[in-house]
Structure 1
Amino acid sequence: MLPAVAAFTDTYLPTVNGVTYTVQSWRDRWEARGGQMHVVYPASSHEPADAEHPVRSLTFPFYREFNAALPQIPSGLDGVEVVHAHTPFTLGLAARRLAGRQNLPLVASYHTPTAEYADYLAGGVISRAIERVAGRYEQWFLNRVDAVVVPSEPTREHLRELGVTAPVEIVPNGVDTERFQPVGPDERAAFRERHDLPKGPLVGYTGRHGYEKELDAILEVAPEINATVVFAGDGPARSGLEARAERIDADVRFLGFLDRAELPAFYATLDAFLFPSPVETQGLVALEANACGTPVVGVNAGALADTVVDGETGYHYERGDTDGFRAGIEQALADGDRLRERCLARRDEVAMERAVDALADVYERVR
């Protein structure tokens, strides 16, 4: 019988990002298997469903997309057998307190290197000091749990380098392959028409527009490739990207936030997904693109070093190598049909059900 789980997360609906998607998807599938997974999250405009527990929160002054929840343990968590912290911050501390009070096993997911957000607070020497403090705090928090869950081997290696000695288990975030699958030519044509996109090759990105994702690299190569560049999503870096795009000789479009129901058509309409972010712990959007048959040209850094398989699901380039990025895009466009077949052949390997199987194994080991 599956254990009852309390998942604590500092980011949840209506915010849409990789953490929210993972928590919600794992919860839905856990309950479909007959288990119960409570979700504790910062209060927002999201109307809580059964087993969702909003707690009081404040808007984070430096990053409007993030609400800082008070470290509260809500009522209604009776019968919980495993506590899962998806954050090391305020609600992670609440998760730790609940586990300690009730002598329950505590699992922690490592979704994002917190040091990478230092630039939202300050720059230069102060930013580097914040990064060091963040790294030491992560080490302290993660070394006091029963197991750490990461989505990729490079992320596990990063934690070992950080000094984390707790057991680190690989549990991929998983892709909903029922949702993310190829779409037909009529649906692709309708997507282009709906968003006023021209005929011809399309390359682009969707996701949070964060400074740490180095999306400027896409604009560096945009004038040199024979394709329209499309950005979907939103975030603090968007205004700067739009301003820069106006100054270059390239066709660059910003679609803004897309409803999740539109994402399969977005991915499938692209000829290549561009992913310059060096800070990914897995790069879920890359796997979603692959599941829709679209190759990824990604930086050879972080988890993308493993997520992108050269010549199979896309191509790598070295961080800062503009010529290499451009060459990877050109190669992906030239090899489109072959790469599409290879991407689709790997769909079962990244399916959500496999991820939840691995998660259940972790919970069983710590009980």
Structure 2
Amino acid sequence: MSTGKFPTTIVTNTPVTQTHQPFACARTKIPTRQAIALISEHGDPAAEIGKDAAGGQNVYVRQVGEALAKLGWQVDMFTRKSSPYDATIVQHTPHCRTIRLIAGPETYIPRDELFQYMPEFVDALQKFQQKEGTNYPLAHTNYWMSGWVGLELKRRQNIQLIHTYHSLGAVKYQSVSDIPAIAQTRLEVEKQLLEQAHSIVATSPQEKADLENLVSRIGSIDIIPCGTDVSTFRPISKADARKQLGIGAKEKVVLYVGRFDKRKGIETLVRATGELRSKLEQGAEIDPQNLKLLIVGGSDPQEADGAERRRIEEIVTELDLHANTEFVGMVGHDRLALYYTAADVCVIPSHYEPFGLVAIEAMACGTPVVASAVGGLKFTVISEETGLLVPPHDVSKFAHAIGRILTDEVWARKMRKQASTRVHQNFSWTGVAIQLSDLYRYLLAQSLVGSGLKPVASSPAALVSKLIAS
């Protein structure tokens, strides 16, 4: 996930119609635009990135939506309204908007408690369609609960359904000790999606393998990676970036970007930093006082992720790392590239990442990455060429890998160039949107000739009834 903010958008607290919306004229100039729905029930595309549950999924949906609009689609992105103070509709560009539907209380609700409100979400989406007179023959859903919404819409309206998991329960539950009550329902929905959606978009070969090995051998899977804004995340002068951020030229900067969540492995990074500092104190070419850990992202300590932030702060105190650590907090999108560029290494110690947007943002800026050898990170990071991959949770190996990059400037300089080249050649949002657009058009063409459709064995609504009854 990225912790930046998107550019200013036009918002309204009342439903925007063809008559009243600011871009109505621009929209009606191209009557041939096909409307499609991107559904992200908890990952609000218009949210402030890095706060509470806002992370990589929000970035993905927003960036894909805007890029698809540039390719000629009318893109409506549906999410759940989590605050009465949030605008009902946010118009990002003339042909791309976020629509917040009321489904349950208008307040933040943890993801594991949201599923019970998904029937309301479906009803609200259909009422919106009817009010606007808009037909969505295709929906691209994101995360398993949005996928459930898609399955229900497919049953009612026979839409073309494309799904991106963003996180796979069958993998996630292997790495956590506290399994939520919703786990079995999630696993059932994820299996239904693979077997019944018209296409699953996996963001890496590793995710496709996980789906086939852990979920089901039945299903159509296309590999289309995530992307990054290569116009924002690009190589710039490291000296200029440090000057703007007030970072000294001699400091060795280790960077973390992301929200506070145990699964992000921040504890591993903090302990690795402590171990590395101890080694430097024993004699090395780097002054241990110049070792700097910057933790960028997360929200206020009193917000939903505040408990994890406080836990990390306690570990910093335990290891006496206050002089070496700075909690930067949330950073605007326009300044995030400065932090990537100013850093000597960006560390992604996650226990699991289906893709890992931070990795390609950092590499796009020419910053080597040390990442856990899990999920999509094994696809985005080429070990020994654009960074290093190490086992998750392994404090000593993280410390060693970070130390290697910090102490070998010639090798690090070579990696910086290779990292930037890899991202700019393979991971632009425009390129991602072109692949998705081609997939959408293929599936819509299939629907017109009546091929490629898969029957829904049973109503996905039965899972809600099952959950309520249990």
Q: Which runs of 5+ in 2 are unaligned?
A: 1-31, 50-54, 277-287, 300-304, 445-470
In structure 1, the partner of 2:71 is: 33
The alignment partner of 1:48 has SS state of strand
Rounded Cα–Cα distance in structure 1 between residues aligned with 2:48 and 2:182: 25
The alignment partner of 2:179 has SS state of helix
In structure 2, the partner of 1:85 is: 141
Shift of residue 188, structure 1, vs aligned partner: 1.1
Given candidates 294, 311, 315, the residue that maps to 1:230 is 294
Q: 1:34 to 1:293 in 2, by over 3 A?
A: same
In structure 2, the partner of 1:71 is: 121
Q: 1:309 to 1:133 in 2, by over 3 A?
A: same
TM-score with structure 2 length normalisation? Answer: 0.70
Shift of residue 98, structure 1, vs aligned partner: 2.7
In structure 1, the partner of 2:159 is: 104
In structure 1, the partner of 2:327 is: 254
Shift of residue 319, structure 1, vs aligned partner: 2.4
1:273 matches 2:346: yes
Q: 1:118 to 1:300 in 2, by over 3 A?
A: closer
Structure 1 range deviating more: 69-78 or 212-221: 69-78
Report % sequence identity: 22
Q: 1:190 to 1:25 in 2, by over 3 A?
A: same
In structure 2, the partner of 1:365 is: 442
The alignment partner of 1:311 has SS state of coil
- Structure with higher Rg: it is 2
In structure 2, the partner of 1:166 is: 219
TM-score with structure 1 length normalisation? Answer: 0.89
Structure 1 range deviating more: 29-38 or 40-49: 40-49
Determine if contact 2:144/2:186 at 8 Å carries over to the other structure: no
Amino acid at match of 1:218: L
Given candidates 169, 175, 195, the residue that maps to 1:143 is 195
Shift of residue 185, structure 1, vs aligned partner: 4.1
Determine if contact 1:29/1:356 at 8 Å carries over to the other structure: yes
Q: How does 1:200-211 map to 2 (within 5 A)?
A: 200-211=251-262
Rounded Cα–Cα distance in structure 1 between residues aligned with 2:396 and 2:159: 52
1:212 matches 2:263: yes
In structure 1, the partner of 2:466 is: none
Amino acid at match of 1:85: T
Given candidates 330, 338, 346, the residue that maps to 2:414 is 338
Rounded Cα–Cα distance in structure 2 between residues aligned with 1:300 and 1:77: 48
Q: 1:163 to 1:112 in 2, by over 3 A?
A: closer
Shift of residue 221, structure 1, vs aligned partner: 1.0
Amino acid at match of 1:357: I
Q: 1:256 to 1:170 in 2, by over 3 A?
A: same
In structure 1, the partner of 2:456 is: none
Aligned residues: 360
Rounded Cα–Cα distance in structure 2 between residues aligned with 1:189 and 1:213: 26
Shift of residue 7, structure 1, vs aligned partner: 0.8
Q: Which runs of 5+ in 1 are unaligned?
A: none
In structure 2, the partner of 1:48 is: 90
The alignment partner of 2:273 has SS state of helix
Structure 1 range deviating more: 140-149 or 42-51: 42-51
In structure 2, the partner of 1:288 is: 361
**RMSD, aligned CA:** 2.7
Shift of residue 54, structure 1, vs aligned partner: 1.2
Structure 1 range deviating more: 22-31 or 241-250: 241-250
Rounded Cα–Cα distance in structure 2 between residues aligned with 1:116 and 1:213: 14
String of CA shifts for 1:93-139, please: whole Å, max 9, x gaps: 333333333322111111112467779xxx85x62775455323321
Shift of residue 353, structure 1, vs aligned partner: 1.8
String of CA shifts for 1:208-231, please: whole Å, max 9, x gaps: 221111211101111233421110
The alignment partner of 1:217 has SS state of helix
Q: 1:348 to 1:303 in 2, by over 3 A?
A: same
Rounded Cα–Cα distance in structure 2 between residues aligned with 1:65 and 1:191: 42
Q: 1:166 to 1:62 in 2, by over 3 A?
A: same
The alignment partner of 1:316 has SS state of strand
Given candidates 40, 43, 46, the residue that maps to 1:9 is 40
Shift of residue 361, structure 1, vs aligned partner: 2.5
Rounded Cα–Cα distance in structure 1 between residues aligned with 2:224 and 2:394: 31
The alignment partner of 1:71 has SS state of helix
String of CA shifts for 1:185-220, please: whole Å, max 9, x gaps: 454134432xx7785110021112211112111011
In structure 2, the partner of 1:310 is: 383
Q: 1:245 to 1:141 in 2, by over 3 A?
A: same
String of CA shifts for 1:225-281, please: whole Å, max 9, x gaps: 342111011162222111211221331111111111111101001100011113111
Shift of residue 181, structure 1, vs aligned partner: 0.8
Determine if contact 1:332/1:339 at 8 Å carries over to the other structure: no
Structure 1 range deviating more: 163-172 or 65-74: 65-74
Rounded Cα–Cα distance in structure 2 between residues aligned with 1:118 and 1:258: 31
In structure 2, the partner of 1:181 is: 234
Rounded Cα–Cα distance in structure 1 between residues aligned with 2:142 and 2:248: 38
Amino acid at match of 2:266: L
Amino acid at match of 2:100: P
The alignment partner of 1:338 has SS state of helix
The alignment partner of 1:246 has SS state of helix
Determine if contact 1:139/1:162 at 8 Å carries over to the other structure: no
Determine if contact 1:15/1:65 at 8 Å carries over to the other structure: no
